[in-house]
Amino acid sequence: MMRTRPLKVALLGCGVVGSEVTRIMTTHADDLAARIGAPVEIAGIAVRRPGRVRAGVPEELITTDATALVKRGDIDVVIEVIGGIEPARSLITTAFEHGASVVSANKALLAQDGAALHAAAEKHGRDLYYEAAVAGAIPLVRPLRESLAGDKVNRVLGIVNGTTNFILDKMDTSGAGYSEALDEATALGYAEADPTADVEGFDAAAKAAILAGIAFHTRVRLDDVYREGMTEVTAADFASAKQMGCTIKLLAICERAADGQSVTARVHPAMIPLSHPLASVREAYNAVFVEAEAAGRLMFYGPGAGGSPTASAVLGDLVAVCRNKLAQSTGPGESAYTRLPVSPMGEVVTRYHISLDVADKPGVLAQVATVFAAHGVSIDTVRQTGKDGEASLVVVTHRAADAALSATVEALRKLDTVRGVASIMRVEGE
Amino acid sequence: MMRTRPLKVALLGCGVVGSEVTRIMTTHADDLAARIGAPVEIAGIAVRRPGRVRAGVPEELITTDATALVKRGDIDVVIEVIGGIEPARSLITTAFEHGASVVSANKALLAQDGAALHAAAEKHGRDLYYEAAVAGAIPLVRPLRESLAGDKVNRVLGIVNGTTNFILDKMDTSGAGYSEALDEATALGYAEADPTADVEGFDAAAKAAILAGIAFHTRVRLDDVYREGMTEVTAADFASAKQMGCTIKLLAICERAADGQSVTARVHPAMIPLSHPLASVREAYNAVFVEAEAAGRLMFYGPGAGGSPTASAVLGDLVAVCRNKLAQSTGPGESAYTRLPVSPMGEVVTRYHISLDVADKPGVLAQVATVFAAHGVSIDTVRQTGKDGEASLVVVTHRAADAALSATVEALRKLDTVRGVASIMRVEGE
């Protein structure tokens, strides 16, 4: 039984994602109607620069007054694909106040203000869905929030930024340095003119905050996520990684502490074994490992960005939110009942790979080993090489608290026999 | 705001999955209550042989009268993990009639009678969820049914049977023959005493029917699925596959025809390139590729069977169904509006790898090539080897209708110069 009065959608933003959402909603209108149980139509599209609207987007729907659009009162669902904090936050809040549910692709906003937005949605009895905010088309928010709702997730480990994965993959396969690989990514459209958000890990950190919150049923904000970018990864690091049977990926890692009483979330480059499924994630693809108590190890893989994949995620949410609207119900809201605190990076248990330039004389290794022991850090392997009067030591540790590892490195820097710390990288995925 | 009157669950079956469901519902009761918004308790457990009930399962809940249990009238959700067609089908139907929603892990029943069961659920305003019926803990039904509800799925290609993947992986890595690998799988508990359902592809075919129906929004029954088991795959086939840079997997393949007017579903062993992500799925793991118009290529990977993983999927569904119950709504029901017909195997477009034992004399290749040409099948590569007066031809075709490929093989068998068709295998995943 199909309702004939269409559900009305307001689209905020009409860039790459918004215009693809518009295109699919137009060309696949019959399918969407059949799946929702009612036709769905775009009632208005808010843009900043109407002159730049793309081909195929109906001109009569365009407005520059986004606030008036969300205040119309007859809008069932607002799709927000503007990005950034403001005006997106105010528009979403206004949308809830005026009776609309919201589908958003805005990772930065959700990582910063997710709790407040969820509260606003709940107050007004509306839905807030955001599958597109994490890893593009890859179903990840819904599986974590719904499929694993009866399980206990202990770890989420993933490649959630396509730009940096493209750059690291180039460095790995071609031996290129960071700048060269970045230039190629920019030329091919994988990196933006200002790549800061990607290469410094801000984008991945926002996604880590969202994933950790959902996975552990608690609140994790962007500020809670430890973040290191990948701009300092060198060709020499890749060479070291290869010697260990590893490659280097920028990982988002969300973990429940061993005692279950806290969680951690972090983003940093790390060495992972070539045998790990994440090691073979190439180009701009994303992939996320989820480890749950009953389910075991699951992996989700796919395109993490781009207009069409992101539109796919947005429209999946649109169908769900429209169905909820017709059923006069809402989907699952925020689940943050565990109130687990987020521990600082120092408490994360991990492993380090450390390259030291050292004096080529007897006793250096003993000195270095003493420093590790003094900080309670156990050494897994040491490789010592000497050439041209210089020597280098590559140390890989066993698992230890990051604070202890970090203090060890500081103490090593102060040794006379240590001329420099060539690189430090965490080792994950074992 | 938590409701205090508990939701009541009737569990049908208490084998490996059922006892794990019971264990998790007991140990994680608080988490489940928080996520659902109300406590949930097991009101009764129906088993066939009460003496065989496992440790940790409360004895006072055990009954042998499953029908009376689902007829009690106060049951909110029936979890069916008996398997098989009857009595599962009657019990599920009775459950709907008496006001319960149903969570099932029963692939055989859903592949055979999914439409009727969905209709019964809808008639009584109840939910029918079955994430656990396909690929164990891997979220697949929900992503296809909900996350991709705004997209157009064109292809589902996957390893959905862990037993056969374990056997094929053994054959690949150790060079073992089929019987030897099956024995190992049996010894390790990966294969049942009667492995027919797995090795003849019935289990995978049921999953293919379910996946195709959901993916293409149509009805696909078990009988619609073309099925070939993997008992005739030999060590020689693996050797041939290796020469082509391939391995062999038992694949479930659901495709939309190029003209969009029909679909196909099939299960058979096939060669896939080692570079394909499915090629590296080891042991009893499952993995499913989904190709959608907007989303692109997605992959879902994880444990496809086992008590805990299956229980994880069952409990995810339980949480969803309980939430729906509290919201007095239901989740998405059957979506079969496209009514796309299922084409027979002959219309499937695929590639063949054919090994022929031929007479070692001039002109044989020309004769063979003429047969291919006469059936409109284009040859990709031919490799001719002769030893000890015998010769063999390995032909790999371009894509053609399966009927044409099959007719070609029949015609080849009739050639005097062809002494035998050593093996035929489809080539997929490119």
- Cβ–Cβ gap A217/B35 under 8 Å: yes
pLDDT in tens, A272-293: 999 888 998 999 999 999 999 9
- Residue B398 and residue B331 in contact, taking contact as beta carbons nearer than 8 Å: no
pLDDT at B389 over 80: no
DSSP per position, B321-368: HHHHHHTT--------TT-PPBPPGGG-EEEEEEEEEEESSTTHHHHH
Question: How far off is chain B from A398, nearest CA to CA, in Å?
Answer: 28
- Mean pLDDT across B339-355: 96
On the CB side of A423, CA atoms within 13 Å amount to: 22
pLDDT at A305: 85
DSSP per position, B39-66: -EEEEEEE-S-GGGPPTTS-GGGEES-H
Which of B24, B27, B146, B275 to mutate against chain A (most A CBs within 10 Å)? B146
For the CA atoms of chain A, what is the radius of gyration?
24
CB-nearest to B32 from A150, A293, A312 is: A150
> Considering only CB atoms, which chain B residues are within 8 Å of A149?
35, 315-316, 319-320
Burial (CB count <10 Å: 0-12, 13-18, 19+), residue B32: buried
ipTM comes to 0.94
By C-alpha distance, the chain A residue nearest B282 is: A277
| Same domain for B351 and B319 | no
| Same domain for A84 and A147 | no
- Residue B7 and residue B39 in contact, taking contact as beta carbons nearer than 8 Å: yes
Which of B151, B256, B276, B293 to mutate against chain A (most A CBs within 10 Å)? B151
- What is the rounded distance in angstroms from the CA atom of residue B10 to the CA atom of residue A119? 34
Mean per-residue pLDDT over chain B, rounded: 95
Residue A202 lies in a domain: yes
pLDDT at A382: 94
If you ran DSSP here, which 8-state letter would residue B148 be given? T
- What is the rounded distance in angstroms from the CA atom of residue B218 to the CA atom of residue A297? 31
| Same domain for B364 and B266 | no
- Residue B139 and residue B300 in contact, taking contact as beta carbons nearer than 8 Å: yes
On the CB side of A108, CA atoms within 13 Å amount to: 15
CB-nearest to A148 from B147, B149, B312 is: B312
A422: domain CATH number is: 3.30.70.260
Which of A126, A312, A315 to mutate against chain B (most B CBs within 10 Å)? A312
When mean pLDDT is compared across A39-53, A171-185, B60-74, B302-316, the lowest value belongs to: A39-53
pLDDT at A343: 97
Q: Report the share of chain A in percent with pLDDT over 90.
A: 88
Looking up tokens 């565990």 gives A338
Q: Angle at the Cα of A413 (from A409 to A419), degrees rounded to 5?
A: 130
**Of B84, B117, B129, nearest in space to B219 by CA:** B117
SS3 track for chain A: CCCCCCEEEEEECCCHHHHHHHHHHHHCHHHHHHHHCCCEEEEEEECCCHHHCCCCCCHHHEECCHHHHHCCCCCCEEEECCCCCCCHHHHHHHHHHCCCEEEECCHHHHHHHHHHHHHHHHHCCCCEECHHHCCCCCCCHHHHHHHCCCCCEEEEEEECCHHHHHHHHHHHHHCCCHHHHHHHHHHCCCCCCCCHHHHCCHHHHHHHHHHHHHHHCCCCCHHHCEECCCCCCCHHHHHHHHHCCEEEEEEEEEEECCCCCCEEEEEEEEEEECCCHHHHCCCCEEEEEEEECCCEEEEEEEECCCHHHHHHHHHHHHHHHHHHHHCCCCCCCCCCCCCCCECCHHHCEEEEEEEEEEECCCCHHHHHHHHHHHCCCCEEEEEEEEECCEEEEEEEECCEEHHHHHHHHHHHHCCCCEEEEEEEEEECCC
pLDDT at A372 over 90: yes
- What is the rounded distance in angstroms from the CA atom of residue A248 to the CA atom of residue B96? 53
| Same domain for B167 and B188 | yes
| Same domain for B119 and B16 | yes
What does each C-alpha distance from B418 to A344, B203, B367 come to in angstroms?
Answer: 72, 36, 10
Tell me which of B237, B270, B302 is where a domain ends.
B302
- What is the rounded distance in angstroms from the CA atom of residue A44 to the CA atom of residue A95? 13
- Cβ–Cβ gap B309/A316 under 8 Å: no
pLDDT at A361: 84
Residue A333 lies in a domain: no
> Considering only CB atoms, which chain B residues are within 8 Å of A156?
none
Tell me which of A326, A358, A381 is where a domain ends.
A326
- Residue B117 and residue B48 in contact, taking contact as beta carbons nearer than 8 Å: no
More confident residue, A57 or A180: A180
- Residue B164 and residue B158 in contact, taking contact as beta carbons nearer than 8 Å: no
Helix orientation angle between B29-36 and B16-27, rounded to the nearest 10 degrees: 80
pLDDT at A403 over 60: yes
Residue B2 lies in a domain: no
At residue A357, φ and ψ (nearest 5 deg) are -90, 120
Residue B123 lies in a domain: yes
By C-alpha distance, the chain A residue nearest B314 is: A150
Q: Which residues, at least 6 apart from B177, have a Cβ–Cβ distance to it below 8 Å? A: B171, B234, B235
> Considering only CB atoms, which chain A residues are within 8 Å of B339?
none
B159: domain CATH number is: 3.30.360.10
| Same domain for A312 and A299 | no
pLDDT in tens, A46-63: 999 887 767 778 889 999
Question: How far off is chain B from A93, nearest CA to CA, in Å?
Answer: 23
> Considering only CB atoms, which chain A residues are within 8 Å of B301?
277, 298-301
pLDDT at A1: 55
Which amino acid is located at A27 in the chain?
A: T
Helix (H, G, I), strand (E, B) or coil at B264: strand
> Considering only CB atoms, which chain B residues are within 8 Å of A152?
28, 31
DSSP per position, B209-232: HHHHHHHHTS---GGGSEE--STT
- Cβ–Cβ gap B295/A303 under 8 Å: yes
Tell me which of B262, B294, B326 is where a domain ends.
B326
CB-nearest to B309 from A35, A295, A330 is: A295
Q: Which residues, at least 6 apart from A238, have a Cβ–Cβ distance to it below 8 Å? A: A171, A172, A175, A247, A248
> Considering only CB atoms, which chain B residues are within 8 Å of A296?
137, 302-303, 306, 308-309
Confidence of residue A92 (pLDDT cuts 50, 70, 90): very high
- Residue B81 and residue B314 in contact, taking contact as beta carbons nearer than 8 Å: yes
- Cβ–Cβ gap B137/A296 under 8 Å: yes
- Cβ–Cβ gap B302/A297 under 8 Å: yes
What does each C-alpha distance from A91 to A83, A143, A309, B147 come to in angstroms?
Answer: 11, 28, 24, 25
pLDDT at B53: 65
Confidence of residue A362 (pLDDT cuts 50, 70, 90): confident
When mean pLDDT is compared across A44-58, A342-356, B34-48, the lowest value belongs to: A44-58
Confidence of residue B105 (pLDDT cuts 50, 70, 90): very high
Which of A26, A147, A275 to mutate against chain B (most B CBs within 10 Å)? A147
| Same domain for A234 and A151 | yes
- Cβ–Cβ gap A309/B301 under 8 Å: no
**Of B264, B281, B170, nearest in space to B225 by CA:** B264
| Same domain for B253 and B189 | yes
Q: How many residues does chain B have?
A: 430
Catalytic residue among B8, B123, B170, B207: B207
Residue A162 lies in a domain: yes
B207 is catalytic: yes
pLDDT at A302 over 70: yes
- Mean pLDDT across A345-356: 96
pLDDT at B56: 79
- Cβ–Cβ gap A137/B298 under 8 Å: yes
Looking up tokens 């970090």 gives A406
CB-nearest to B320 from A146, A217, A306 is: A146
pLDDT at A85: 97
| Same domain for A317 and A263 | no
* Torsion angle, alpha carbons of B142, B143, B149, B154, to 10: -120
Pinpoint the alpha helices (H) of B161-275. Answer: 162-174, 178-187, 196-199, 202-216, 235-243
- What is the rounded distance in angstroms from the CA atom of residue B320 to the CA atom of residue B323? 5
CB-nearest to B149 from A147, A280, A316 is: A316
pLDDT in tens, A129-156: 999 999 988 999 999 999 999 999 999 9
- What is the rounded distance in angstroms from the CA atom of residue B182 to the CA atom of residue A94? 62
A122: domain CATH number is: 3.40.50.720
Helix orientation angle between B307-326 and B29-36, rounded to the nearest 10 degrees: 40
CB-nearest to B299 from A31, A302, A306 is: A302
At residue A385, φ and ψ (nearest 5 deg) are -130, 140
pLDDT in tens, B266-278: 999 999 999 888 9
> Considering only CB atoms, which chain A residues are within 8 Å of B281?
none
Question: How far off is chain B from A382, nearest CA to CA, in Å?
Answer: 32
> Considering only CB atoms, which chain A residues are within 8 Å of B323?
332
Instruction: Give me the number of domains chain A comprises.
Output: 3
Residue B341 lies in a domain: no
Q: Which residues, at least 6 apart from A201, have a Cβ–Cβ distance to it below 8 Å? A: A161, A164, A227, A228, A229, A230, A250, A267, A268
pLDDT at A221: 94
**Of A116, A111, A106, A53, nearest in space to A83 by CA:** A106
Q: Report the share of chain B in percent with pLDDT over 70.
A: 99
Residue B419 lies in a domain: yes
| Same domain for A288 and A157 | yes
Residue A332 lies in a domain: no
Which of A26, A134, A151, A278 to mutate against chain B (most B CBs within 10 Å)? A151
Confidence of residue A2 (pLDDT cuts 50, 70, 90): low
> Considering only CB atoms, which chain A residues are within 8 Å of B217?
31, 34-35
> Considering only CB atoms, which chain B residues are within 8 Å of A335?
34-35
pLDDT in tens, B296-308: 999 999 998 889 9
What does each C-alpha distance from B103 to A106, B100, B117, B330 come to in angstroms?
Answer: 34, 10, 12, 13
pLDDT in tens, B395-418: 999 999 999 999 999 999 999 999
| Same domain for A321 and A284 | no
Q: How far apart are the first and last CA of chain A?
A: 52
- Cβ–Cβ gap A34/B335 under 8 Å: yes
pLDDT at B344 over 60: yes
> Considering only CB atoms, which chain A residues are within 8 Å of B314?
150
Question: How far off is chain B from A26, nearest CA to CA, in Å?
Answer: 12
By C-alpha distance, the chain B residue nearest A332 is: B323
CB-nearest to B329 from A302, A306, A327 is: A327
Question: How far off is chain A from B420, nearest CA to CA, in Å?
Answer: 41
Spacing of C-alpha B400 from chain mean position? 25
- Mean pLDDT across B120-125: 97
CB-nearest to B316 from A149, A277, A300 is: A149
Catalytic residue among A107, A170, A207, A325: A207
Could you tell me the residue range of the domain that residue A248 belongs to?
141-303
At residue A133, φ and ψ (nearest 5 deg) are -75, -20
CB-nearest to A150 from B217, B300, B318 is: B318
- Cβ–Cβ gap B329/A329 under 8 Å: yes
- Cβ–Cβ gap A312/B297 under 8 Å: no
- Residue B321 and residue B130 in contact, taking contact as beta carbons nearer than 8 Å: no
| Same domain for A121 and A26 | yes
pLDDT in tens, A202-231: 999 999 999 999 999 999 999 999 999 999
